[in-house]
Amino acid sequence: MSDLRRVLGAIRADRSWVVLGVGLAILAVLCGVALTGLSAYLVSRAPSVENVAELALAITAVRVLAIGRAAFRYLERYTTHVATFRILTGLRVWFYRAIEPLAPAALIDRRGGELLARIVGDIEVMQDLLIRVVVPALTALTVGILVVVALASVAPPVAAVLAIGLVLAGVVIPDLVRRASWTPAAARVARRADLGAAVVDGVAGRAELVAFGAVGDHDARVRTIGEGWDALGVRLARTRAWQAGTDALVIGAASLAALGIGIALVGDGRLDVVLLAAMPLVVIATFEVTAPLATAAQRLAGARAAAHRLVELVDTPPAVCDPATPGPLPDGHDLEIRGLRVRYAPDGPWVLDGLDLSIPAGGTVAIVGASGAGKSTLVDVLARFWDYEAGSIRLGGTELHDLAGDDVRDLLSIAAQHPDLFDASLRDNLALADADVSDARVGAVLAAVGLDTLVRGLPGGVHTRIGEDGIRLSGGEAQRLAIARALLREAPILVLDEATAHLDPRSEAALLAAIAPWRAGRTTILISHRRSVADAADRVVELVRGRAVTSGPARDAVDRDAGAR
């Protein structure tokens, strides 16, 4: 239950809405019970009165109770819906803030669909905890006590029967349902995550599945997971069906017992005959509060499993921790790297192994090397996505470990080989770098990266949607757009990480030359597996197995490459 308390602690500010919902639910049920009992009294009393005025107060009370029941029920529904939406918002914000520092390093082993299942499915399970579990439980407890006490003042034996029935229907049966539901409910939460991950994989990789003729196998896997999920749902439904039948049996037995006891009390002269009809009806009306408790017990089982999955991810330690007291950002933007060692696992191989590198402020360095040499890892370390175990990185003379990750990333503008593009307009994707960017500046940067001709041919120009992950663009166009976005972000350090990999050497050279004015004054790092970027750099550094094996002027690198050919 500690996981539940952890999650509930994230929505403490919205509990006042839940308390209000409980109060309104209690009033609505009490009005319903009183309305039932008073209506039965009126029907029994009416034949024995000579003047209807004698029933005026009771008739008015019936009207008030009927209106009150409807009004309180409406307000309760409205309040609990508001509470649900506020709780949902609070949980999602809490969860996002908790996992945001984990990206990307600590989430590298998490599947996208499985994360989506936690963010959507598990949180939706948790949003019902207070409204569908706590509210019915508190309502049942309060109403049950009040009605039993009220009945005890009129017919104590009937009150005892009601109390026993409420304990059976409100405590014993829900507890049995909870015990029977715990395993299938927890398994269903996990199976839903597997189903979500499989569906996302199938949608995202549909082209590859079709190309390799694997659609049938993947669809069969999704079907198997879905059938397992449905089977668990059937188990839970059977438990609910058993609960419903048992509840009906308890309610029927309690109402018959109340009627029999009432008849005996009337015969003994201890109960007015006009109250006889009210006894079983009040008992039946009171059992309204126990009806949702068994379902609440199942929801509790599911909520416990969902809370465990959420807390498990929230408690994942981040790969990079900010210092307790981050230092101020340096004025300079030069980079001095000495003896840098980085690996992805404590017992894994070194990806960067003793790297030494100097990048002057405002200078341009090309870092080249084969795939796996550690080029992109260096970018992740500079962006504080991964941490380094040994060595030193000094930015403007300040050790990177002494700076907050967000502060460091504010100094960087990165265009990656596989950019994340959103299903929005081309302009909106650029606006991620500068929300207030002008149309003139958008046009200028698109011309610099060679996308102006493409934009002129689009039906909506820069307002044309590019699809999820830029699917409506070619690989080269997507990379040009990523470079344009990086240029619009006026950060002092620019990193192009294989950002021209989808361009041929001639197009790459033309692009790097065209964006030279945009790079002026920035510390620029050009990362590529091709030496053709050397013409745009002041110096070229070659990485082999995480170490710089050659370093020198760009012209020398070009001459060596030409000599090799």
pLDDT of residue 413: 93
Q: What is the DSSP string of 175-211?
A: HHHHHHHHHHHHHHHHHHHHHHHHHHHHHHTHHHHHH
For tokens 């209000």, the residue is 20
The amino acid present at 553, given as its one-letter code, is P
Percentage of residues in the chain with pLDDT exceeding 70?
Answer: 96
Are 191 and 228 a contacting pair, CB within 8 Å? yes
The phi-psi region of residue 213 (left if phi > 0; otherwise alpha if psi is between -120 and 50; otherwise beta) is left
Short-list 542, 547, 543, 529, CA closest to 350: 547
380-439 confidence digits (pLDDT tens): 999 998 889 899 999 999 999 999 988 999 999 999 888 889 999 999 999 999 989 999
Q: What is the pTM of this model?
A: 0.72
Does position 543 have pLDDT exceeding 50, yes or no?
A: yes
Mean pLDDT of 325-339: 90
Which tens digits make up the pLDDT trace of 450-475?
999 999 998 899 999 998 888 889 88
What angle, rounded to 10 degrees, do the helices at 173-204 and 293-314 form? Answer: 50
Q: How confident is the model at residue 553, as a pLDDT?
A: 65
> Per residue in 15-35, pLDDT tens?
788 889 999 999 999 999 999
Average pLDDT of the chain? 87
Domains in the chain, ordered, with CATH?
2-314 (1.20.1560.10), 335-564 (3.40.50.300)
Tokens 């508190």 correspond to what residue? 138
The two three-digit tokens of residue 19, written as one number: 């308390």
List Cβ neighbours of 387 (8 Å cut-off, separation of 6 or more): 319, 320, 321, 342, 381
Q: Yes or no: say if 189 and 121 are a contact pair by the CB < 8 Å rule.
A: yes
Going by C-beta distance under 8 Å and a sequence separation of 6 or more, which residues neighbour residue 376?
417, 497, 498, 527
